[in-house]
Chains A and B, each alone.
Chain A
Amino acid sequence: MLESRRFIRHTPAMLEMSRLSLSVSIDGAWVQAVSDVSLHLRPGRILGLVGESGCGKSLTAQAFLRLGEYQGVRRDGGDILLDGESLFAMEERRLRAVRGGRIAMIFQEPMTALNPVFSIGSQLTEVIRLHLPLLDRQQVRARALELLAGVGLEDGEALLRAYPDALSGGMRQRVLIAMAMSADPDYILADEPTTALDVSVQTRIIALLRDQQRRRGLGMLLVTHDFGLVAEMCDDVAVMYAGQIVETAPVADIFDRPAHPYTRALMACRPEAAVDGQALAVIPGQVPPPGQWGGGCRFAPRCTFADAHCGKPVTLDAWQEAHHCARCIHVGQGVE
Chain B
Amino acid sequence: MSPVLELRNVDKIFRAAGLFAADARTKHAVCRVSLSLQAGETLAIVGESGSGKSTTARIAMRLLSADHGEVWWQGENVSGLAPRALRARRKHIQMVFQDPFASLNPRMKIWQTVAEGLRVHQPGLGRKQLRQRVADVLGQCGLDAAMMDRYPHQFSGGQRQRIGIARSLIVEPSVLVLDEPVSALDVSVQAQILNLLHDVQQQHRLAYLFISHDLSIVQYIAARVMVMFAGHVVEEGPTDRVFRQPAHPYTRALVDARPIVHPAQRKARAVVEERSEQVADDGCPYRLRCPRALDACASFDGMLQGDTHRVSCLNPQTYA
Query: A residues bordering B, Cβ < 8 Å?
Result: 52-53, 168-169, 198-204, 207, 225-232, 234, 251-252, 255, 265-266, 269-272, 274, 279-283, 286
Residues of chain A within 8 A (CB-CB) of B220 are 271, 274, 280
How many A-B contacts at CB < 8 Å in the complex?
97
C-alpha gap A207/B220 in the complex (Å):
27
B191 at the interface (CB under 8 A from A): yes
Contact of A200 among B156, B186, B254, B265 (CB under 8 A): B254
| A252-B264 in contact given A199-B214, A226-B259 (Cβ < 8 Å) | yes
Q: Judging by beta carbons under 8 Å apart, are B271 and A204 in contact? A: yes
Cβ contact of A279, chosen from B156, B198, B263, B271, cutoff 8 A: B198
B191 and A228 form a contact (CB under 8 A): no
Q: Name the residue on B nearest A53 (C-beta).
A: B186
Q: A199-B48, A200-B48, A231-B266 are in contact. Are A282 and B191 (CB under 8 A)?
A: yes
**Smallest distance from the beta carbon of A201 to chain B beta carbons, Å?**
8
B157 within 8 A of A: yes
Contact in complex: A266, B264 (CB < 8 Å): no
Our pick among B186, B254, B264, B265 for the contact of A225 (Cβ within 8 Å) is B186
- What A residues does B273 contact at CB under 8 A? 204
Between A and B, 25 residue pairs with Cβ closer than 8 Å are A53-B157, A169-B49, A198-B48, A199-B213, A199-B258, A200-B257, A201-B48, A202-B257, A203-B257, A225-B187, A228-B260, A252-B263, A255-B262, A265-B188, A269-B187, A269-B190, A269-B191, A270-B216, A271-B194, A271-B214, A272-B216, A280-B191, A282-B188, A282-B191, A286-B156
What residues of A have a CB within 8 angstroms of the CB of B216 in the complex?
A: 270-272
Of the residues B186, B214, B253, B260, contact of A231 by C-beta under 8 Å: B260
Apart from A198-B48, A226-B259, A270-B261, 12 more pairs, CB < 8 Å:
A52-B186, A53-B157, A226-B187, A227-B187, A227-B261, A230-B263, A231-B261, A232-B263, A270-B191, A279-B195, A280-B220, A282-B188
Given A53-B186, A199-B213, A282:B49 Cβ within 8 A: no
Tell yes or no: B158 within 8 A of A by CB.
yes
Contacts of A231 in B (CB 8 A): 259-263, 265-266
| Number of chain B residues close to chain A: CB under 8 A | 38
In angstroms, Cα B269 to Cα A228, docked, is 13
Report the Cα distance A226→B48, complex, angstroms: 19
Tell me which residues across on chain B come within 8 A of A207, comparing CB atoms.
271
A-facing residues in B37-56 (Cβ within 8 Å): 48-49
By a CB distance below 8 angstroms, the chain B residues around A252 are: 263-264
What are the 10 closest A-B residue pairs judged by CB atoms, nearest first?
A: A228-B259, A269-B191, A280-B191, A271-B220, A198-B48, A283-B188, A203-B257, A271-B216, A52-B186, A207-B271
In the assembled complex, how far is the CB of residue B201 from the closest CB belonging to chain A, in whole angstroms?
12
Give B51's nearest chain A residue, CB to CB: A198
Q: Hey, which chain A residues are within 8 Å of B188, CB to CB?
A: 52, 265-266, 269, 282-283
CA distance A16 to B213 in the complex (A): 37
Q: Which residues of A contact B213 (CB under 8 A)?
A: 198-199
A200 to B271, CA, bound (A): 9
Residues on A with beta carbons closer than 8 Å to the beta carbon of B145: none
Given contacts A269-B191, A271-B216, A283-B188, contact A199 B263 (CB under 8 A): no
Task: Annotate B299-317 by CB proximity to A: 1 below 8 A, 0 otherwise.
Answer: 0000000000000000000
Q: Are B191 and A281 in contact (CB under 8 A)?
A: yes
Q: Does B189 contact A (CB under 8 A)?
A: yes
Using CB atoms, name the residue of chain A closest to B216: A271
Complex contact A280–B254 (CB within 8 A): no
